[in-house]
Amino acid sequence: ARLPPITRSLQELVEAQAPSELARRRSEIQAEDAEDPDLTRPLVGGFHPWQEVASSRSLYLESGRVVRRGSPGVAIADAGTDRIIVKFDRRLDLSDECLGVQPDDIVTQLSRSFG
C-alpha cells in the first residue's frame, strides 16, 4: 500500500508548522538525487522513476486480463529499450509482481485533487 496523496491543505500545514524541517528534507532529497542520476533521468516515453501513472487500457497476459483500464501504479525503471517496469496497485490476478509495459499502455496519473 502506498501513502495517501499530498493535499494542498496538508502541504500548507507542513510548510507553516515545520518550515526548517521541510527545507532540511528537501535539501537531503536534492543531494541524494545528485548522487544517483538514474533517479532524474527520464524513462522510455518520457516518464520518470517513481512517477504515479495509470493504465491507459486493460492489460493482458497469456492467462487473461491482469490490469483494468485506469488502474493506478508507479513507474519504476526501464525494461529494455521499449518498455517500462510498472508496479500497479492492484492486479486482477492478485499478483504483486511488476509488469513490463509499453509507454502507450500508461498515462500520467492525475492528482486526486482533480476529482
The tens digit of pLDDT for each residue in 38-87 reads 666 789 999 999 899 999 999 999 999 999 999 999 999 999 889 999 99
**pLDDT at residue number 68:** 97
Its pTM surpasses 0.75: no
**pLDDT at residue number 54:** 95
Instruction: Tell me how far apart the alpha carbons of residues 72 and 5 are, in angstroms, rounded to a whole number.
Output: 12
Q: 100, 71 in Cβ contact below 8 A?
A: no
**pLDDT at residue number 58:** 97
Helix axes 19-35, 8-17, angle to 10 degrees: 110
Q: H helices then E strands: how many in the chain? A: 2, 7
**pLDDT at residue number 112:** 60
**pLDDT at residue number 40:** 65
**pLDDT at residue number 27:** 87
Distance of CA 34 to the CA centre of its chain: 20
Task: Say which residue, 16 or 111, is predicted with more confidence.
Answer: 16
